[in-house]
Chain A
Amino acid sequence: GAGVSQSPSNKVTEKGKDVELRCDPISGHTALYWYRQSLGQGLEFLIYFQGNSAPDKSGLPSDRFSAERTGGSVSTLTIQRTQQEDSAVYLCASSLVRGLGNEQFFGPGTRLTVL
């Protein structure tokens, strides 16, 4: 596709359930990022993948959060045992490579609601 796509667009789940959020980056982009935006807040960095390098997981808020990127393309963000404070819009972005001038292109996000 022309842009970054994410699925589902909306997800409502019950507290304690696991959820998986999917991101399809722009074809050819080697760098992939996950952010989340909680209500009334700015975007918060979660994790970064670059090619075959080890991901930068420094933004993941707890060990309930994990992400993987298969084949250097599609990425899945998994939240285990969801809590109400996990409710947010989860945004994925990709860029050609890491570095100046290689701006991040964002997907439309997945709105997660934990009841």
Chain B
Amino acid sequence: DQQVKQNSPSLSVQEGRISILNCDYTNSMFDYFLWYKKYPAEGPTFLISISSIKDKNEDGRFTVFLNKSAKHLSLHIVPSQPGDSAVYFCAASEGGSNYKLTFGKGTLLTVNP
């Protein structure tokens, strides 16, 4: 039973446009959500996080939106750059802590010049 779902295996956007990556979760006990970025042959790198007490968190070109009623979060990248091309993982944890992360399968983002 997959508790964190990224239903789009891949996404392709043009440089300068907005990239929107989506994530759905089923466990209502999740209260902390993270996005990680992964390049080939490297480990995932933390990108941005959001607590369930918020509905938006912004860091430069990256914004995460959380819709608790829909159990849905999204990552917006504006403007997209070719260097953003990577696999993006959505992750969640419960109990107000940041360990024992549950990850989605990832979405491969390709930003075309």
Contacts and interface: CB of A to CB of B under 8 A. Distances in A.
Interface of A: 4, 31, 33, 35, 40-45, 48, 50, 56, 58-59, 91, 93, 95, 98-109
Interface of B: 2, 4, 6, 32, 34, 36, 41-46, 49, 51, 89, 91, 96-106
B113 to A, nearest CB: 27
A106 B43 contact: yes
B103 A43 contact: yes
B43 A93 contact: yes
5 contacts: A41-B105, A42-B4, A42-B105, A95-B99, A106-B36
B106 A109 contact: no
B43 A100 contact: no
Pairs A-B, 3 closest by C-beta atoms: A106-B43, A42-B103, A43-B103
